[in-house]
Structure 1
Amino acid sequence: MITLYNEGVYLVNGNEIYFNNSESDAKLKERFGNRYSLEDAKKNTIAYSIMQKHNTSGDEKSLKLKFDALASHDITFVGIVQTARASGLEKFPIPYVLTNCHNSLCAVGGTINEDDHLFGLSAAKKYGGIYVPAHFAVIHQYMREMMAGCGKMILGSDSHTRYGALGTMAIGEGGGELVKQLLSKTYDVQLPQVVGVYLTGKPQKGVGPQDVALAIIGKVFKNGFVKNKVMEFVGPGVDNLSVEYRLGVDVMTTETTCLSSVWKTDSKVKDYLTLHGRENEYGELNPGEVTYYDGLICVDLSEIKPMIAMPFHPSNIYTIEELNANLDDILAKVEQEGQKQVGNKNLKFSLRDKIVDNKLYVEQGCIAGCAGGNYENVCEAASILDGHSIGNDEFALSVYPSSQPVYYELVQNGLAGKLMNSGAVLKTAFCGPCFGGGDTPANNSLSIRHTTRNFPNREGSKPNEGQLSYVALMDARSIAATAVNKGFLTAATDIEDVKYDIPKYYFNKKIYDDRVYGGFEKPDAEKELRFGPNIKDWPVVPALADNLVLKVASVIKDPVTTTDELIPSGDTSAYRSNPLRLAEFTLSRKDPEYVGKAKQIHKSEEARINGKDAFEENKDLEKVFNTIKENFADINLENTGIGSVIYAIKPGDGSAREQAASCQKVLGGYANIAKEYATKRYRSNLINWGILPFIMEEDPKFECDDFIFVPNIRKALSDKLSEMDAYVVRDKVEKITLKIDRLSKDETDILLSGCLINYNKR
């Protein structure tokens, strides 16, 4: 089904594979002569040519990228505009799309959410942006329909910024990276490796893009096969997939932890762009005659079966056939692993109680967002449901078309009526089911969803209040098949006599023309930003001190810590524009004591900066300083910052939300210590908020509430040291070694300045 080749490979003429060895080298030299060399072959990937086209550094390996367009939604754009404004923003230099698809439900948070929306509209008017009203499109569907194009690069403040199937290399990052683009600066990254994804065969009827994506994620996530690399989709199997199918696979590449993705393009892509009135954005993209990939993922599409990703990660995959054949054993394993992630022994994670007559019963289904709400997914789900009823018991099904034009066409061709007749409920374009802002299941309920993630509590449950529910990821087709069977888990391939019907799609651009504000290149500096009482400026952040004394405010020893655990999604979303209020939720579902510990030590730093008694609020701190002075006589309150630090083994999997870092900074966080960082985007967020991204290879010698002293940290950064001594402070100091992976000059300067805002002001 899927085979991984970790060694380099050559792809010849797009369909011949040669492994990187002396025998292949001889054959290629004999066949292609001077047209073949390893260095040239590395430059023949689609990704290489796109990245170099956007690189402004003059160095093909140390990239300084400028993007063609930016995209944000209403959980992130207020903070981005506020940060850029504080840094001297005058106008948006490139198209910047502000969508409203996360905080769409203004009943959640009252007027707060709508205040954010109107702030976004006023920013689009003042600075020259593109504003998409609430319920009109999820962020990535609008970008596919109206902005992506072959050979482009797009940066978005959402982790699922992926338009590779349209020939666009897109990257999801924290807001600070978008701020840099708004200030005409660059996205700095070392030239990433490129891994080929070689597709062959054709999917079986009933097997959808989510099935293919989950199968790939299951193979590559845990071993880090594509971490921070580019996935390039090639091979004859691409031709057997529609563009929407490709988009459905592509958007899930985020869950592999790759940096970006891109696909070869063909006439189907040209037809898609032409349909959306943008035929001039098409360009044929193919790997070169001889192309070198740093690794290869071979996928036989014909062997992919309907998949399910069990709680609590998209990589926790099984075939539905395998799960149904071994229900009790697999569910027992999932329960055992999941209970560890829940962490609360008093809260029971239970799935086996959902076995009824040797079948797994689920209480809810959702088809939604950038992954599930595409036109073809909904059409094929409607084909399966046509003439059936989901019943009148607990099982419920919600369908969220990904944009208003998609919804309109489903109404026009009658498929909306078929879905409604089955008992499914159609809702507007909204990302809520993906992050806990909509369709939160009842306590101890299992929801199957064609969305992007199923992390703990991401569906909106509140374990601290005794409420826990679960999400399993599936394709829309198998969700519809399960709905036909009234909630009993069913693979779409097990439903017979389905006439799959995908009526021709007609894109109604007038829907956007009438409601989307298109202000690019039309900024009006006289326009005032519209603020609401919940939209607050960022607190003042000091520059990095010469030395640091850090209180360990949380120690997390889970194998992976997600951004949703660092700063919960869902009910906290209404406060994304209020840094101080949002910070109160930091680690609230993982370590409820963290906020109090961080705030308490932060009082000493505030006192220090204001020339007051830094020891008054934390009496043990004076003893810590005295112990340090026994070995480091020169430290004092003038040259030593005081703050907090979080330890986690592998933090930052998942969302691009910069608030996972900024909330720590607001509470006085100065550093993270980790064995590794799950994603580049989380590490970037830390740096942009002036939080030191330390690496420590050995297990921690410290515990929560201990203090760590980091001497001469400014000098270490300025001298570009990758390794430095630090000390755990108890009755005496005990040396540990901290490392920092390679920093660019700008990243170093940002850390020294205290944060990106300070750096830009300077």
Structure 2
Amino acid sequence: MIKLYDEGIYLVNGKEIVKESEAKSFSKEDAKKGTIAYGIMKNHNVSGDMDHLKIKFDAMASHDITYVGIIQTARASGMEKFPLPYVMTCCHNSLCAVGGTINDDDHLFGLSAAKKYGGIYVPPHIAVIHQYMRENFAGCGKMILGSDSHTRYGALGTMAIGEGGGELVKQLLEDTYDVAYPGVIAIYLDGKPKPWVGPHDVALAIIREVFAKGYVKNKVMEFVGPGVSSMPTDYRNGVDVMTTETTCLTSIWRTDEDTKAYLSKHHREDDYKQLDPADVAYYDGCVYVDLSTIKPMIALPFHPSNAYEIDELNANLEDILKKTEEAAAKISGDRAHFTLLDKITPDGKLKVQQGVIGGCAGGTYSNIVEAAHALKGKSTGNDEFYLSVYPSSQPVYTDLDRKGLLADLMDTGALIRSAFCGPCFGAGDTPANNALSIRHTTRNFPNREGSKPGQGQMAAVALMDARSIAATAANGGILTSAESLDCWGDIPEYNYDDRSYVHRVYNGFNHADEDKSLRFGPNIKDWPEQEALADNILLKVASKIEDDVTTTDELIPSGETSSYRSNPLGLAEFTLSRRDPAYVGKAKAVRALEDERKAGKIDASLQGVFDVIKTIDHDVDPLKVEIGSVLYANKPGDGSAREQAASCQRVLGGLANITQEYATKRYRSNCMNWGMVPFHLKGQPTDFDVDDYIYVPHILEALDGDLKDIPAYVIKDGQAKEIHLYIQDMTADERAIVKAGCLINFNRNKKK
């Protein structure tokens, strides 16, 4: 049972839940300070004002499709060395399979940056980013910032936040992460999971309940209650990493002796402290979870919240799969064909074509041990189904190897890979066309597994726990709940051995050598110059997306584009390619109009547009009106923290987004850090279409105001129709960054 409270609650002595409406004698203001989250944020806040936080982090982490751009931005902004531990892992472009030399060129750039600026460099195949941070940096009471959305180490007592690269740049420049004090939601865990229920089952059950309601959006999920101690820390890590899929800001868990044992095993016993809420703590809401009632789960395409109990799915197979097929048809836009009903066997079972256990969610020690035990002495079959297993780090890999568990898996026909995040974002084990993959990874967004609907290719992913994936593999690919087996819980003690880290990881923190040179490859390009925002702007609608949610994977695809992440203009060619292939051409055409304006000429095609504008703004000088493209989407930015979802729009000449709401804080922050105005629309987008112009006068003045009502004008059919925009609250620095044209310009201006 999972229950969402419709009001705030007081947690008394860590166990008793008292509804706010029934509380008689508690001080709400005092009790707000009783959460674990409050204490950690207070210790990292340098503003002196807990309503408006300015956070400095203890460490940062990036992988090899984000760290080049971050370092390039920080260099351009005047950075001279890394002022805090900055870990750069090579777990995304590890295979170096496409693009010639450019992937490993990025890696050697990262190594050279670690030497020059004093960073920590983790080579390919050594560890996935979040496992390395768990093993080496996360600790009780810390805060860590990462340029990957799944930066979550709450189960180790660390409040970790995944953000776009611009926020990491600010830390490298010794600035702060600025955010209003977030709401804190209690995730009250009670009971104990059944032996056949794994961390993904718990996570998917929670995501199913909270995502669509926005219950924890941009808030802190604080895991409390006696059920926390019913799960080992390795298990808790697997639940915690999936909190990203709820759209929460960050997470934190109470800690206990098992947390201490985990840190001690990783040679960091000094990083332990007991974290508990105060005797009376106030939470803005509560999710009550009876762990004993959770059953093996499956999240069908195309979101982790599209979750069902496996038994529930099997009992209603045709009806549920038909809904998923309908969603696939809408996503593909008739460019590809994906079916599920044809995967039902004659005896009414679902046959899947691939299984993957890996990454920061699935590749942990205990998950792979459980899978090995379930499969020992069995066969994955010699038909189309196959299983790939990716241990999350070399220490995990070597201990599994020394115990013979990898051999047990390989004997079944399973494939053992290295530490690599590829299957999670479409760069490894891409399924066959029209195939269904079951994965213990973090996401199953449309086409994230690597298919290309524009080329008639489409596959899909369902998320499941490693235990049920192993049970399915043992059944030759017939969807099977882990509850059908009786082999769970016999997990030998993990023996952590960090010799692979000692021998391969470069640790240069506090040893920066400014005389070292950065090593550039031919694909590593500087960011194009961006101009400051003009007082009047003319926006041309380059795309209009009215889906309920637009993911960052749709804004800039993952997978095949990752090789171009160090080349802003090269990467921009893929913008919206899976969702709106016409966007890039339209955006470039608008950028050409702006290039002409900057050269002192207004294109003849704009004459009629400016004739209409002059009827409402008589003194306007067309040569002083900045021209850019605009993207409309109802709710963009669900998913990845990758800043490229915004920067690609910007380098193509994007000036703004217009939305009903932003799916995540991190995507909105990315837009602002790249100088794009984050508009919201009052009402529905019925007054404009693709290729229409929207004139926004005096935007600089509006950015100095309360942002609540910004008049704009749709220029269409020789007339101007007034619409009204607004912007949610921005900090003083965010306003200045957008005015400056981007974060790089803002930082350069500060140094003048």
Scaled to the shorter chain, the TM-score interval is over 0.9
The match for 1:680 is 665
Specify every segment of 5 or more residues in structure 1 that has no aligned partner in the other structure, as ranges: 30-35
Aligned match of 2:702: 716
Determine which of 225, 228, 243 is the counterpart of 1:238: 228
Contact 1:384 1:500 in 2 (8 A): no
Give the TM-score normalised by the residue count of structure 2. 0.98
**In the TM superposition, what are the counterparts of 1:105-116 in structure 2 within 5 Å?**
105-116=95-106
User: Hey, what's the Cα distance between the residues in 2 that align with 1:720 and 1:93?
Assistant: 35
Q: Is 1:157 equivalent to 2:147 in the alignment?
A: yes
Aligned counterpart, 2:719: 732
Aligned residue for 2:311, secondary structure, equals helix
- 3-state SS of the aligned residue for 2:701? helix
Q: Is the 8 A contact 1:341 1:558 kept in 2?
A: no
Are the equivalent residues in 2 in contact too, given 1:365–1:448 (CA < 8 A)?
Answer: yes
Of 740, 744, 747 in structure 2, the residue corresponding to residue 757 of structure 1 is 744
Query: 629-638 or 236-245, which moves further after superposition?
Result: 629-638
Distance 2:701 2:293 in 1: 56
Confirm or deny: 8 A CA contact 1:554 1:646 kept in the other structure: yes
In the alignment, structure 1 residue 704 sits paired with structure 2 residue 703? no
Which aligned pairs between 1:454-465 and structure 2 lie closer than 5 A? 454-465=444-455
Change in Cα spacing, 1:677 to 1:499, as seen in structure 2 (3 Å) is: closer
Letter in 2 for 1:19: K
Deviation at 1:545, TM superposition (A): 0.4
Residues in 1 aligned to 2:467 and 2:590: alpha-carbon distance in whole angstroms: 52
* Equivalent residues of 2:91, 2:125 under 8 A apart: yes
Query: Distance between the aligned counterparts of 2:351 and 2:549, measured in 1?
Result: 29
Amino acid aligned to 2:427: G
Following TM superposition, by how much is the alpha carbon of 1:477 offset from its aligned partner in structure 2, in angstroms?
A: 0.3
* Structure 2 letter corresponding to 1:4: L
Contact 1:413/1:503, CA 8 A, preserved across alignment: no
What is the rounded CA distance, in whole Å, between the counterparts of 1:586 and 1:702 in structure 2?
22
1: CA distance between counterparts of 2:516 and 2:748?
23
Aligned counterpart in structure 2 of residue 624 of structure 1, from 601, 606, 609: 609
In structure 1, what is the equivalent of residue 8 of structure 2?
A: 8
Deviation at 1:346, TM superposition (A): 4.8
Map residues 397-476 of structure 1 onto 2, 5 A cutoff: 397-476=387-466
Corresponding residue to 2:273 among 249, 271, 283: 283
Query: What residue in structure 1 maps to residue 546 of structure 2?
Result: 557
Query: 1:501, CA displacement in angstroms?
Result: 2.7
Is 1:512 the counterpart of 2:512 in the alignment? no
Structure-2 separation of matches of 1:132 and 1:20: 48
Q: Which amino acid aligns with 2:16?
A: E
Q: Secondary structure at the match of 2:23?
A: helix
1:322-380 deviation digits (Å, cap 9, x = unpaired) = 111111111111212332233x1252221000000200000000001000000000000
SS at match of 1:360: coil
Note the C-alpha offset of 1:609: 1.9
Structure 1's 346 and 579: CA in aligned 2 closer, same or farther, altered over 3 A? closer
Secondary structure of 2:724 counterpart:
strand
Partner of 1:650: 635
Find the aligned partners of 1:431 and 1:42 in 2 and give their Cα distance.
38
More divergent stretch after superposition (418-427 vs 715-724): 715-724
Partner of 1:32: none
2:127 is the alignment partner of 1:137: yes
| Partner of residue 214 from structure 1, selected from 183, 204, 208 | 204
Show the counterpart of 1:601: 590
Q: Aligned-pair distance for 1:246?
A: 0.5
TM-score, length-scaled by structure 1: 0.97
| Equivalent residue number for residue 23 of structure 2 | 24
Letter in 1 for 2:7: E
Verify the 8 A CA contact 1:6 1:294 in the aligned structure 2. Answer: no
| Corresponding position: 1:323 with 2:308 | no
Tell me which of 287, 295, 303 is aligned to 1:297: 287
- Deviation of residue 657 (structure 1)? 0.3
Deviation at 1:24, TM superposition (A): 2.1
Structure-1 residue corresponding to 2:66: 76
Contact 2:336-2:454 at 8 Å conserved across structures: no
- In the alignment, structure 2 segments of 5+ residues that lack a partner are none
| Alpha-carbon displacement from aligned partner over 1:572-631 (angstroms, at most 9, x marks no partner) | 0000000001000000010000000000010111222233x230xxx4222111210122
Cα distance in 1 for residues equivalent to 2:554 and 2:705 = 34
Output one character per residue of 1:101-147: Cα deviation in whole Å (capped at 9) or x when no partner: 00111122221100000000000000000000000000000000000
C-alpha displacement of 1:755: 0.3
| 1:721 CA drift (Å) | 2.9
Q: How many aligned positions are there?
A: 746
Which residue type is aligned with residue 626 of structure 2? G
Q: Is the 8 A contact 2:707 2:728 kept in 1?
A: no
CA distance in 2, matches of 1:206, 1:108: 40
Q: Does 1:547 align with 2:536?
A: yes
Q: 1:297 offset after TM fit, Å? A: 0.2
Match of 1:754, as an amino acid?
G
- Paired residue type of 2:23: S
Question: What letter corresponds to residue 230 of structure 1 in structure 2?
Answer: V
CA distance in 1 between partners of 2:586 and 2:155 (Å): 46
Once the 2 structures are TM-superposed, how far is the Cα of residue 504 of structure 1 from its aligned partner?
1.1
- Asked if 1:64 is matched to 2:54, the reply is yes
Partner of 2:108: 118
Comparing 719-728 with 223-232, greater Cα deviation is found at 719-728
| Residues 1:634 and 1:93: Cα distance change in structure 2 (over 3 Å) | same
CA offsets 1:2-38 (integer angstroms, 9 cap, x no match)? 00002000000000110011x421xxx2xxxxxx411
Question: How many angstroms does 1:638 deviate by?
Answer: 3.5
- Decide whether the 8 Å contact of 1:653 with 1:679 is kept in 2: yes
Question: 2:200 touches 2:440 (CA, 8 Å); kept in 1?
Answer: yes
| Equivalent in the alignment of 1:358 | 348
Asked if the contact 1:313/1:453 (under 8 Å) is kept, the reply is yes
Q: Which amino acid aligns with 1:746?
A: D
Percent of residue pairs identical = 65
- What's the counterpart of residue 614 of structure 1? 602
Give the superposition deviation at 1:499: 5.2
Check the 8 A contact 1:549/1:709 in 2, yes or no. Answer: yes
Taking the TM superposition and a 5 Å limit, the aligned residue runs for 1:20-59 are 20-21=20-21, 23-25=22-24, 29=25, 36-59=26-49
Per the TM alignment, residue 639 of structure 1 is displaced from its structure 2 partner at its CA by: 2.3
Q: Write the distance in 1 (CA, Å) between the matches of 2:587 and 2:651.
A: 10
Q: Partners of 1:522 and 1:607 in 2: how far apart?
A: 48
1-structure distance, mates of 2:161, 2:321: 35
Farther off after superposition, 436-445 or 330-339:
330-339
Q: Please list the CA deviations of residues 735-760 of structure 1 after superposition, one character each: whole Å capped at 9, or x if unmatched.
A: 00000000000000000100000000
